[in-house]
Chain A
Amino acid sequence: MSKVTGQGSPFLRNHRISICFAVLFTAIVVCCLLTLVTGKVSFGLADLLNALAEPGGEDVSHRIFWNLRVPRVVAAVLAGSALAVSGLSLQTVFRNPLCGPFVLGISSGASLGVAIALLAGMGFGHFGVLGAASVGAFAVTLVIMAIASCFTRSSVLLVAGLLFGYFIDALVSVIMAGSEAENLQVYVAWGMGSFGRLTIDSVYLFAGAVAVGLALVAGSIRYLNAARMGDDFARGLGVNVSVARKCVLLGSSILAGAATAFCGPVAFIGIAVPHLAYMLFKTTNHRVLIPGSACCGALLALVAGLFPVSVPLNAVLSVVGVPIILYVMLRGSKERV
């Protein structure tokens, strides 16, 4: 990584990028603090420092802090960055600005797992909803990887992924049609998305899955930077396209699958945030866009998480996400998206 900070690197040379990162990072820290101190039980700065100083404290405020607030912050930051990076990678690989984790059916796979667990009565033992979502997302990832091996063209793979997503959604509908009202209510609640489900014990698991996904995507930056010019162009630059594409797809699936498993099917971050990152950083270099999207995603998720728990997370994100997508589409009509 020595070259990253070396003379001539975009990080130092381009002030705009440095300023954007500084502002985003500051905003993320502020939102993290706000998430930690706001809620039904208000925390002062002293309480916050006190809870941080004694992680093993047994009183109510300590428990609220460590069992509710901290997992909530971690869930928002990890899910926001994971979905944003997943969306960015998929948009680049498929050269389609409206691509996102939902398009390939990965989130649908997680939904199918949860539907089977909650509605069809297969409880998955102590795995519960979380395990069911992970299994569903991972199963879809495997099928997508198999499809990716059959089709060399990204556009065909995109259509195959879309069709597969529809197929899974149809299966979910069939299961929903034959389920009881009580179970259906739980399933619908899960479908609204929330950062409040992550437990302190699962934080490491979530962080581990996101780290693996990010590493797979980051290891394919050469491919991502060349992919917008087409697969043949990338091959001409010495990129092993089939291997790199599989790494990106697997990484994106892990990121989206983990986020959906832990926070529910959180919509829009995956589609909207990469466009936000383009607008802020004004570059197509994924060395900047990947961390940039991750920061924007984390910030958007934290902001959405600050709204009262009674307002469904997906509703808040859609209210923020839709205007962004519309703005990009309107701009696109002027300058070719």
Chain B
Amino acid sequence: MSEKLLLECENLCVGYGPALVDEVSFSLSCGEVVALMGENGSGKSTLLKTFCGIVPPLGGNVRVCGESLENWNLRERAHHIALVRMSVESPARMTVQEFVSLGRSPYSGMLDSRSVEDDAIVQKSMELLDVESFAKRPLAELSDGERSRVYLAEAVAQQVDVLLLDEPNAFLDIPRSRALFRMLRNLVENRNMGIVVSTHSIEYAESYCDRIMVVNKGRARIAPAKNARAEGLFDWAEA
């Protein structure tokens, strides 16, 4: 794991008015997968949205690849950080290939054209996530497992440094969840990226992630995955 810091924040305060989570100090290194855990409504999704700039922070700031998010325009942000949400509605008629190709949108011109290089990146992303066999099928017709891979392929095509995933295994069975987390490990190791993944599964967090961050009662605590249980990070789940 390299020490290059991809995502940093200090004393970050997030929420929509009243603070949901306060004083979050966190850094994500290249090649690292961090699990984000906590009860429903604890602020996991809001924290992820604040990391990528969709929700402005109430206090503190977020730095991506050493640069404050505020110093970048939306398109520059999209070159470095992406949030993947599985709960997004799949529009009728849009095919898998068309959707994965949207990942190249931050690099396109005003008329949203795609170069030969863009098409090659889209193709490689589909191959990496093993979705090219159903590239022409409509997104709305896919199973949950297939769709989660397609959503990841789109984010991979975006070629970001930091990937944020909001409950990617929410709709997946055990084998597909395992395959997904293995894929995340594969991505950070081969693509020089860092991943923060929110999940409700302690087992996958401990098995596949390097560190675990728990958001509980407005505070965020973080520990290496192997020490998380001993340090009492899961006490909220057992109450």
B119: min CB distance to chain A, Å = 5
Query: Which residue from B49, B82, B102, B109 sits with its C-beta under 8 Å from A226?
Result: B102
- For chain A, the bracket of interface size reads 35 or more
The answer to whether B76 touches A4, judged by C-beta atoms less than 8 angstroms apart, is no
A223-248 vs B, Cβ < 8 Å mask (1 yes, 0 no)? 00110111011011111100000000
B52: min CB distance to chain A, Å = 7
B118: min CB distance to chain A, Å = 8
The answer to whether B105 touches A237, judged by C-beta atoms less than 8 angstroms apart, is yes
B127 within 8 A of A: no
- The A1-45 residues at the B interface (CB cut-off 8 A) are 1, 3-4, 6-10
The answer to whether B111 touches A336, judged by C-beta atoms less than 8 angstroms apart, is no
Query: Which residue from B54, B73, B98 sits with its C-beta under 8 Å from A285?
Result: B98
B116: min CB distance to chain A, Å = 4
A95-123 vs B, Cβ < 8 Å mask (1 yes, 0 no)? 10100000000000000000000000000
B179 within 8 A of A: no
With A8-B116, A286-B112 already in contact, the answer to whether A240 and B94 are too (CB < 8 A) is no
B117: min CB distance to chain A, Å = 9
With A225-B105, A285-B98 already in contact, the answer to whether A232 and B113 are too (CB < 8 A) is no
Inter-chain contact count A-B, CB under 8 Å?
97
The interface on chain B, measured as residues whose beta carbon lies within 8 A of the other chain's beta carbons, has a size of 41
The answer to whether A4 touches B89, judged by C-beta atoms less than 8 angstroms apart, is no
A293: min CB distance to chain B, Å = 14
Query: Which residue from B54, B73, B93, B113 sits with its C-beta under 8 Å from A236?
Result: B54
B185 within 8 A of A: no
* Interface SS of B by simple majority: mixed
Query: Which residue from B75, B95, B99, B113 sits with its C-beta under 8 Å from A9?
Result: B113
Q: Which residues of A contact B119 (CB under 8 A)?
A: 8
B98: min CB distance to chain A, Å = 6
A105 to B76, CA, bound (A): 37
A8 to B75, CA, bound (A): 24
Q: Which residues of B contact A236 (CB under 8 A)?
A: 52, 54, 78, 82-83
The answer to whether B110 touches A222, judged by C-beta atoms less than 8 angstroms apart, is yes
The answer to whether A222 touches B108, judged by C-beta atoms less than 8 angstroms apart, is yes
With A230-B88, A230-B89, A336-B140 already in contact, the answer to whether A6 and B54 are too (CB < 8 A) is no
B224 within 8 A of A: no
A9 to B110, CA, bound (A): 15
* Interface SS of A by simple majority: loop
B211 within 8 A of A: no
Q: Which residues of A contact B54 (CB under 8 A)?
A: 232, 235-236
Query: Which residue from A1, A8, A225, A238 sits with its C-beta under 8 Å from B74?
Result: A238
The answer to whether A226 touches B74, judged by C-beta atoms less than 8 angstroms apart, is no
B115 within 8 A of A: yes
The answer to whether B78 touches A336, judged by C-beta atoms less than 8 angstroms apart, is no
- The A212-270 residues at the B interface (CB cut-off 8 A) are 218-219, 221-222, 225-226, 228-230, 232-233, 235-240
A279-310 vs B, Cβ < 8 Å mask (1 yes, 0 no)? 00011111100000000000000000000000
A308 to B106, CA, bound (A): 50
A97 to B92, CA, bound (A): 10
Q: Which residues of B contact A225 (CB under 8 A)?
A: 102, 105, 112
8 further A-B contacts with Cβ under 8 Å, apart from A232-B54, A237-B102, A336-B92, are: A8-B118, A97-B92, A225-B105, A229-B102, A233-B85, A238-B74, A287-B113, A335-B92
